[in-house]
Amino acid sequence: MARWKELPAALDSREGRLIAELRRLKDHSGLSLAALAGKTGYSRSSWERYLNGKQPVPREAVRELAEVCGLEPTRLLVLHDVAAQVRRPGGTGAPRTEAPGTEAPRAERGEDSAPQRTVSLRGCIAGIVAAVVVAFTAGLLAGGVWGGDEAVADNGKAGYRRGVAYSCDIRRHGEELRAGHSTSRDILLDINSTGFDVVEVQCLLREHGFDPGSTDGLYGQPTKDAATRFQKARGLVADGIVGPKTWGELRR
């Protein structure tokens, strides 16, 4: 698989994080840009621009990519909304793209620009929404756990506790291998992910002979290293990120 081009140096880090996640998802799906174009409402050239940071990714494109790859899109949409907030007037990072029929800022039209001292109600609401989105994203990127020792796992199953080493109940369900903690086949897991989906991956890695060091549901470096070794052995993209293709091999 061809290596991705380096993203533009001027690209905001939040925009870069979104594109990196979309690239990983596309790579794990095994779809070419042409195949992706055939399954979504966006052309091959559009996907090439989006995934190389040449043009902001539309929210609908993020949703369609997630759905084509069998991934619940909420987390990616939150990342998109944070990146889009940066592109709005007064933000930093990539320049915004004007929607059809809208006017460019005063400075771009060659008019005198004067400081705007009046804050509109819409601006206040937008600021509050932005703060909520950023806080929500911070929680997701930290691993999806709120509260004290007790939490709800990424797959919605209650009862996960940090620091507990869970037992593995490896069984066959038809042709699918399971460890008794999750039935996931598509959720993306990487460093700082937590919950029973991670326990399931750790158990399955150990069953296949790739020891993650623990079955505590914390996706740390030992788990990532074990997943990378497993991916190399199975001829997958060896990035240590568990996605649909790695899940499929773990379930064999």
Distance from C-alpha of 225 to C-alpha of 231, rounded to nearest angstrom: 10
DSSP string of 55-121, one letter each residue: SPPPHHHHHHHHHHTT---HHHHHHHHHHHHHHSTT--SSPPPPPTTPPPPGGGGT-------PPPH
Structural contact between residues 5 and 52, judged by C-beta atoms closer than 8 angstroms: yes
Helices (H), the chain: 13-29, 33-39, 44-51, 59-68, 74-87, 121-141, 196-207, 221-233, 244-250
> What pLDDT score does 235 carry?
96
**What per-residue string of b and e applies to 133-162 under the rule 16 or more CB within 10 Å gives b?**
beeebeeebebbbeeeeebbbbbeeeebee
Distance from C-alpha of 31 to C-alpha of 51, rounded to nearest angstrom: 13
Distance from C-alpha of 22 to C-alpha of 41, rounded to nearest angstrom: 16
> What pLDDT score does 212 carry?
96
> What pLDDT score does 116 carry?
44
Q: Which helix (H) or strand (E) holds 173?
A: strand 171-173
Residue boundaries of the structural domains of the chain? 13-96+123-141, 150-250
Q: Any residues with CB less than 8 A from the CB of 138 and at least 6 apart, and which? A: none
Q: Note down pLDDT in tens along the chain; length 252 residues.
A: 557 888 898 888 898 899 999 998 888 888 899 999 999 999 999 999 999 999 999 999 999 999 988 888 898 999 999 888 877 665 544 444 434 443 444 333 343 444 444 445 555 555 555 555 555 554 544 444 333 333 333 433 458 888 899 999 999 999 899 999 999 898 899 998 999 999 999 999 999 999 999 999 999 999 999 999 999 999 999 999 999 999 999 999
The CATH number that domain 13-96+123-141 falls under is 1.10.260
pLDDT digits (tens, 9 = 90+) for 59-88: 999 999 999 888 888 989 999 998 888 776
Domain 150-250 has CATH 1.10.101.10: yes
pTM of the model: 0.45
Other beta carbons less than 10 A from residue 211's beta carbon: 14
Q: At which residue do the structure tokens 């038809």 appear?
A: 174
Tokens read off for 137: 């994203």
